[in-house]
Structure 1
C-alpha cells in the first residue's frame, strides 16, 4: 500500500514560530469567566452544546484539530499518511502524552474513543464513513474508510461535539457517563449546578512541540493560570454587573450598550468576535406557503437584510451572504440578496398565499426577537401577515428541528457550521434537515463534495450550492453577526475565538 505523508505539523511550526508574545507571562491565579449556560454534560462525545465546548475543550483534545483559520492540523496525532486511493489513514501518535489520571495515551485509547463515538456520539454521522479502526503499531492507529471522503480530516477535527480522546476504560462507559479525564492543559476540579465549574492547570500536560503559540483549537496550549472558574450567568445584566464589579475577568457575551458604556474605560477592553454566526432565516418547506417557490422568492425580495441585522446587532454585523466565513478559501463574497419590493409583490401575486396568518417562531434572546420584529414589518408591506411566537430555546428548537407543524418561519444563529467549512455548512440542509423537505439538488451536491478530492472542483460545487440556496430560496442568509466580549485588563493576552480559550493567558 502506497502512502502519502502530510507534514502538517512542520508547516504549522513554521507559520507560528515567531508569534510568541513579547511581554512576560506570569503563572498563578484564578481567572473567572462568565458564560451564559452550564454545560449539559462533561462527556465531550455526548453533546454539541456551545456551553459544553467552552469548558470541555480545555480538558480534552482530538487527533486533529482546527487551526486559527479552521484548517485541520495534527493535535494528538504527530502526522498522518493517506493511501493513494484515499481509503486508508495511518496516524502516528505523539509520544509521552498523559491523561489527567496519570496514564500515558496509547493506540488502544484512541481506538476505543473513536469506536465509542461511532456508536453514539452527538455528531456520529461525521465519521460514518469509517469501516474499521485499529491499533497498527506501538504508536500508530489505522482507519480504513468505506469510500473516499474528502472531508474526513475536517470531520475528525470538528469541535462541534469533539471526537475527544479519553482513556479506554472511560470510553467503555455508556454515553454521558464518562468522567472528564482528558489530555488537555486543564483538568476537572468541581462542578456546582447553577453556579460554576472549576478547572485546574494540569502540571503534567505535554504541549505539542510543533508549536510555540496557540493556534485555533490546536497549537501550544500553555496553562499559566492555576485555576479557571466558569460561572453560569444567563442574564445579560448580571454578567455585565459581575464584570464591572471585578467578580469576573471575562464576560464572553455582552451587548452593544455595555460596549459603548465601557469604551475608554481603562479597566476593561471590549473585543469583537466577528463573525461569530450567520443569522439564518428558515422556511418550513413541508407545509403551507413555504412549499411554494414563488412565495419564498417574494419573501427574499421583500426583505432588507441590513436593516434587520443593523437593528438586531448594532455595530456588530457583516453584510455577507456566503455560507462560510470570510477568510475561508471557499468564501465567495457574493451579495445574494437585493431588496425589490415591486418584484416581491409580483412574486407574491403568483403564489398560493391568500393572506392567512403565518407563524414565525423565535427563542427569547433579544437579537432574534428584534430580527423577527423587523422582518414582520418588512413583509407586512407586501401583504404577508405574520404572528410571532416566542419561547425558550429548548421549546422553539424542538419545534423547528423536529416538527413540520406549528411554524412557517424561524430565525436563529448558525455558528459552528460556517466556521468548519463547506461540508458542515451544507450538511444542515441535506435530506431536508433545516427546511423540513429535501432538495435533491442540494443532496447531490453534498454527496459530490464529500467524494471530490480536487479543491478547485470542491469550490465549484460549493458555489453551486450557494446559488441553489439563493435561487430556490431554500433559506435566507441575512449576513454575519458577532459578540462583544468584555475583558478585564488584569487578564492578559486574551484573543476572541470560537470558545473562550484560557490557555496562553495570564493574570497581572
Structure 2
C-alpha cells in the first residue's frame, strides 16, 4: 500500500490549508445520523477474497461478515458463529451459525454458503492453503451447521477463519461464493454485514454511500476491535474522495467531513490547534511497518550477498525523521519482521543490521556486484518516496549505482508484476498484516505468487511447523527461526514502525482506537 501524502518539502501555504484554526466556522449542518468520512483511497475493488488491498478489507468488514474475528488483544473470537466444538482427536470441527443472520436481500445465511465461501477464499491465502491441505472434507450438516474433517490436527483453525488481514475470509451468498476465486466479483456486492452498499447512489470518483443494515443482529458482547457486537448507531456512511490529503485536512477542520483516515504530517501542528478536531494515534500491531521490497529475480538483487548489504544502509529513525513523523508516532528502532510490541516480536537474526556505510562499502566489494543500476520505483510525493530517497543516498555512498524513477502508485503496481526492469520499491503495511509468518506478505509468499519472488527451501517446512505448534511459546520459537532465515534471505528491509494519525471531529464518540476504520458503535456526542 502506498499513500499520496506530502513530504516535508511541500509548503503548507501553497496547499491553501487554513492558517488559523481559531477562526474557522463549521461549513454547515448535516443529518445527525450521517457520517462523512475520507478513507485512504477510493474503493475500486469490491471482492475481499480477490485482493490484498487494505481499502477493500475496510469495505469488506462493513458490507460482509466473518465467522470469527480478532479482538483488541489479538485473540480470535466467534463472530457469525454461535458455538463450535472439536472432537477428542481434534480431527473434526463443527460450527453452528448464530440465529438471525440474513443477506442484504433478505435471504437467510446458510451453512452451505459458508462452506462455499471458505472454499473460494482458501486457495488465495497462505494460511487458507494450509487449512485446505489439512482438510479431508468440509460440508454442511443442515442449514445452520457445517463441519470440517481434517487429515491431521490444525491448531490454527480459528486464526485462519478469523484472520484480520487480506485476503479476508468473508462469507458470501452462493451466487458469489460459487465464482472461482481468481475471477474478481465486479457486480454490486450483497453481504450480511452491518452496512449495505447503495449502488444506486454511488458516484465513482466522488462518493459512495453505505447504509445501516436494519436486519443486522449484532452479537451481545461489546465491540472489541473487530470482534463483539457491531451495533450501528448512524443511518449512513458517506465515503468521500478527496483530490489530496491537504484538501481533506482542511475539510476536517472546517467540519465538512467527520473523519479522515490518514492525515499529512505537515498539517499536524495546525490540526492540533483546531478546537473541534482530535487526533487518533495508536501503537503496537495497529501501527504500520515500512519495507523496501526487493526483486530477487533481477540483478543485482538476485545475489543474496548483495541484498544483505542493505541491512547496513538503513537507519529507521533517520528515515522516519526525514519523512516528518513526530517521535511520539514511531518506534525507535524495530528489528522484528513481526512488528515490535506484538506477540511474536523478536530481534533474532538482526545482528548484521544497523547503519554502517563503511562496512556496507566493504561488504559490497566482496560480492558479485558489477555496477548494475539499482532501479527504485518511487511514488511521487509520498512518504514512501522520502524513505527511498534516504536509502538511495546511502546506497550511492556505499558504491551502488542508483536509478530513482518517479511515478504514481498505479504504475508501480503495473511495473512490479514484471520480473525485470526494477530492483526495489518502498511500501508500508498495517501491522496486523505483518504480525505472523503466515500472513506476512514477503515471508508467506513463494517464488511464483508475489512480486519480488523471494523464496527459501527452509521456509515452507518452518511455516508448516508453525501452523502445527500447539501453543504460543512453540509458535514464537519457530517464528524466531523463520526470522533468522529471513535476515539471510532478505525478502525486504524494514524502514520503520510508525503511526499515521487519523483525525475526527470531537462530537464523535466510541471511535475504535485502531488503524482500521470501523464505524459501528460510533455516534455523535
* TM-score band w.r.t. shorter chain: 0.7 to 0.9
Match of 1:411 among 405, 410, 426: 426
Query: What aligned pairs does 1:12-411 form with structure 2 within 5 A after superposition?
Result: 28-118=32-122, 125=129, 127-129=131-133, 130-159=135-164, 160-172=166-178, 175-177=184-186, 179-189=188-198, 190-209=201-220, 211=221, 213-274=222-283, 275-315=286-326, 316-318=329-331, 319-332=333-346, 337-400=353-416, 402-411=417-426
- What is the deviation of 1:244? 1.9
Task: Kindly indicate whether the alpha-carbon contact (under 8 Å) linking 2:322 and 2:387 is maintained by their aligned counterparts in 1.
Answer: yes
- What is the deviation of 1:194? 0.8
- What is the deviation of 1:427? 6.1
Task: Kindly indicate whether the alpha-carbon contact (under 8 Å) linking 2:319 and 2:496 is maintained by their aligned counterparts in 1.
Answer: no
Q: Distance in 1 between matches of 2:124 and 2:356?
A: 47
Structure 1 position 461 matched with structure 2 position 466: no
What CA deviation, in whole Å up to 9, does each residue of 1:222-250 have, x standing for no partner?
11111111112251122112212221100
Partner of residue 8, structure 1: none
Higher alpha-carbon deviation: 411-420 or 295-304: 411-420
Unaligned runs of 5+ in 1: 1-26
Q: Distance in 2 between matches of 1:145 and 1:385?
A: 52
- What is the deviation of 1:91? 0.7
1:118–1:320 distance in 2 versus 1, CA, 3 Å: closer
Q: Distance in 1 between matches of 2:522 and 2:478?
A: 40
1:112–1:439 distance in 2 versus 1, CA, 3 Å: closer
Task: Kindly indicate whether the alpha-carbon contact (under 8 Å) linking 2:127 and 2:439 is maintained by their aligned counterparts in 1.
Answer: no
1:206–1:279 distance in 2 versus 1, CA, 3 Å: same
Structure 1 position 421 matched with structure 2 position 436: yes
Partner SS for 1:57 = helix
What CA deviation, in whole Å up to 9, does each residue of 1:93-136 have, x standing for no partner?
11222332223323233233334435778996465334432112
Unaligned runs of 5+ in 2: 1-30
Q: Distance in 2 between matches of 1:94 and 1:484?
A: 36
Q: Distance in 2 between matches of 1:311 and 1:192?
A: 37
Aligned residues, how many? 479
Task: Kindly indicate whether the alpha-carbon contact (under 8 Å) linking 2:207 and 2:241 is maintained by their aligned counterparts in 1.
Answer: yes
Q: Distance in 2 between matches of 1:420 and 1:95?
A: 33
Task: Kindly indicate whether the alpha-carbon contact (under 8 Å) linking 1:279 and 1:480 is maintained by their aligned counterparts in 2.
Answer: yes
- What is the deviation of 1:263? 1.1
CA RMSD between the two structures: 2.6
Q: Distance in 1 between matches of 2:126 and 2:462?
A: 24
1:167–1:420 distance in 2 versus 1, CA, 3 Å: farther
Q: Distance in 1 between matches of 2:170 and 2:225?
A: 16
- What is the deviation of 1:173? 5.4
1:126–1:229 distance in 2 versus 1, CA, 3 Å: farther
Question: When the two structures are superposed, what TM-score results if normalisation uses the length of structure 2?
Answer: 0.84
Partner SS for 2:154 = coil
Task: Kindly indicate whether the alpha-carbon contact (under 8 Å) linking 1:277 and 1:413 is maintained by their aligned counterparts in 2.
Answer: yes
Task: Kindly indicate whether the alpha-carbon contact (under 8 Å) linking 2:311 and 2:493 is maintained by their aligned counterparts in 1.
Answer: yes
1:287–1:52 distance in 2 versus 1, CA, 3 Å: closer
What CA deviation, in whole Å up to 9, does each residue of 1:309-333 have, x standing for no partner?
2212521322212122344321226
Partner SS for 1:254 = coil
What CA deviation, in whole Å up to 9, does each residue of 1:325-383 have, x standing for no partner?
34432122666532223321221121112333221122335211101111111122222
Q: Distance in 1 between matches of 2:390 and 2:434?
A: 27
Partner SS for 2:69 = strand
Q: Distance in 2 between matches of 1:426 and 1:357?
A: 26
1:169–1:397 distance in 2 versus 1, CA, 3 Å: closer
Partner SS for 1:297 = helix
Q: Distance in 2 between matches of 1:382 and 1:238?
A: 40
1:146–1:29 distance in 2 versus 1, CA, 3 Å: same
Q: Distance in 1 between matches of 2:503 and 2:197?
A: 25
Q: Distance in 2 between matches of 1:279 and 1:121?
A: 22
Partner SS for 1:361 = strand
1:369–1:192 distance in 2 versus 1, CA, 3 Å: same
Whichever structure has more strand as a proportion of its residues is 1
Task: Kindly indicate whether the alpha-carbon contact (under 8 Å) linking 1:321 and 1:478 is maintained by their aligned counterparts in 2.
Answer: no
Partner of residue 19, structure 2: none
